Amino acid sequence: MLWSLIFLGLVQSSLAAPPIKRWDAMAEKHSWTEVPQGWEYHSPAPQGMSFQLRIGLKQDRVDDLIRDLYEVSDPAHHRYGNHLSKEDVDALVAPHPESVETLNSWLQHHGIDPEQAVYRSGGGDWITHRVTVAQAEKMLGTKYNVYHRPETGSYIVRTLKYSLPRDLHDHVDVVSPTTYFGKTEAMRVNSFMQPEVPTMQYDLNQFNADADAGEIPASCARQVTPYCLRLLYKTIDYVPGATDRNKLGVTGYLKEYTSNNDLQEFFKRFRPEALGTKLNITLVHDGLNDDERPGTEANLDVQYAMAIAHPTPTVFYSTGGSPPFIADDATMTNTNEPYLDWLEHILNETSIPQTLTTSYGDDEQTVPVEYQKRVCSMFAQLGARGSSVIFSSGDYGVGPGLCYTNDGLKTQKFIPHFPASCPFVTTVSKSTGGIPEKTAGLSGGGFSFTFPRPSYQDAQVKAYLSLIGDAYSGLYNESGRGFPDVAGQARGYQIVHKGTVRSIGGTSAAAPVVAGIVSLLNDYQLTKGQPPLGFLNPWLYSEAASAFNDIVKGSNPGCRTLGFSAHHGWDPVTGLGTPDFEKLKALLDKRITAQ
């Protein structure tokens, strides 16, 4: 009897005690078969160097977040427009308590106090701790090295693979910096100088006087100005009325600074009534803004976003990144994770701009899948809170170069762009010419290999796929998220850079223009007592699909192919087409009247 009682007590004790975690039983989380293209091994990372290690815990109710996002973004749903608060979103992305407990136990095992986090997101799904290279290597079962990119002269500290304890795998989505090499230098090519396009040197007032009322001057087909775009997309007669509430945000990375002197000269030449308008600048994660060293990308984005949306208040977010690495430094202050840096900042704000535009991106296959999904879910959080998130689609057509996969097999595939391929952003490609517009060659577009096709575009994408049949079969993912969603003019933009008018083009030009138009639509919503549009795509592919200028000529060559061709309706070259502001505003009016 006594032995029975002792045995029963032992069983009960073992059932009550939590299982012992085996932190030495590791399983790989992600790896590359070779050093990512463009980077070269330089040297081992100094063991004593410290950096900020970000840990993305699994979000316990992320499916509920996505459900809520679609419901508040679907014009046919009774919750349409009822966006979530920061607190609502934080609650949905918070990790399960067991995940937090498991992570804390692991950190303590490695001598890290869980309470000493450098950063903890509002929902607690992102935790950042400062660690040394030696600590990180032990924690992740890996080896960190310094890698060099000769093309730009930049150095970063990364690893080709990392692991986590098996007991932690189900609780953690991603750890960074690890295997994301952040080839963000390539993002600059979303805009490109066009020295072959003569710059506009004559006075804007004369230009306006020479234009017939309501007619688009012939020169606009070659030299694009805010006046051309406002005529073409029919915003010229709209006067914003909610500038006390509406805000437009423009992101900047890679030491791309904007110049107020250039901005004022641009306004003087191309939007005189905006002269004197101030740009608000927010510095994120060691970001800077040097007025004496402006970048063409930042000037382009700011000048055209503000010129279209004037006088809507605009903020430029300058996010730090791409730091030089000095081997004898004890501390690396910036780990070059620009999207995460900016997203952490903006999602921590109680009030965020109703429209946000970004003209940067990278090849989807160069970004670890877990990283893509977490970043994409953060864009979903912005949409759920009522922000319209705009991204450029890239300027490589269906893919850059020879388009081989980087999985070691080197299979030829089309290479989609990220974050353009994220289903929770609105992606903008490029058009050119007068009415009717046509595609501007090498316009980024295609189908994601990471994200499945969202329901909001199912009908349009299926219709396109039925048109092209088995063309390019095997080179793209027929069930993937199709992009772009819309398009905009993208050649011959006249900007002011270092006091001189220059010509520039690319999807980087189209994105801020479309964002400016969306900002005006948000302004109209607010003046009518309505909520901002928020995540646009469910509306664009339903009610608003008819309010775009359909583009049916052209293609987006790449990967040694002619690429996809434009057709009536949606296509992976120019999406639904270019926006007609008056038609879009009329659709908003119709819904408001019907309420």
Q: Is 308 annotated as a binding residue?
A: no
Q: Is the pTM of this model over 0.85?
A: yes
Region of 453 (left: φ > 0; alpha: ψ -120 to 50; beta: rest) is: beta
Cα–Cα distance, 126 to 174 (Å, whole number): 10
Residue 2: its pLDDT value, please?
43
Cα–Cα distance, 142 to 499 (Å, whole number): 49
Look at residue 189 and give its three-state secondary structure.
helix
Look at residue 571 and give its three-state secondary structure.
strand
Cα–Cα distance, 532 to 518 (Å, whole number): 10
Residue 442: its pLDDT value, please?
85
- DSSP-derived secondary structure letter, 392: E
- DSSP-derived secondary structure letter, 425: S
Q: For residues 570 and 461, is the Cβ–Cβ distance under 8 A?
A: yes
Cα–Cα distance, 422 to 104 (Å, whole number): 31
Residue 212 phi/psi, 5° resolution? -70, 150
Residue 149: its pLDDT value, please?
84
Residue 230: its pLDDT value, please?
96
Residue 19: its pLDDT value, please?
63
Q: What is the DSSP string of 12-62?
A: HHHHHSPPPP-TT-EEEEEE-SSPPTT-EEEEEPPTT-EEEEEEEEPPTTH
Residue 196: its pLDDT value, please?
56
Active site residues: 297, 301, 508
Cα–Cα distance, 70 to 466 (Å, whole number): 26
Look at residue 81 and give its three-state secondary structure.
coil
Place of tokens 């970048």: 295
Q: Is 504 annotated as a binding residue?
A: no
Q: Is 551 annotated as a binding residue?
A: yes
- DSSP-derived secondary structure letter, 375: H
Residue 590: its pLDDT value, please?
94
Residue 328: its pLDDT value, please?
44
Look at residue 373 and give its three-state secondary structure.
helix
Q: What is the DSSP string of 496-541?
A: EETTEEEEEESHHHHHHHHHHHHHHHHHHHHHTTPPP--S-HHHHT
Mean pLDDT per 10-residue run, the chain (595 residues)? 45 50 93 91 92 95 98 97 98 98 97 95 96 97 92 86 97 95 52 58 50 73 92 96 98 90 96 96 90 91 97 95 50 64 94 95 91 96 98 93 90 95 97 89 94 98 97 97 97 94 91 98 98 98 97 95 96 98 97 87
Cα–Cα distance, 588 to 60 (Å, whole number): 36
Tell me which fold the domain 238-323+339-444+458-594 belongs to: Rossmann fold (3.40.50)
Q: Is 550 annotated as a binding residue?
A: yes
Residue 3: its pLDDT value, please?
47
Q: What is the CA radius of gyration of the chain?
A: 25
Cα–Cα distance, 572 to 555 (Å, whole number): 9
Residue 332: its pLDDT value, please?
52
Domain boundaries, the chain: 21-78+94-181, 238-323+339-444+458-594
Show the CA angle centred on residue 143, arms to residues 25 and 100, nearest 5°.
Answer: 50
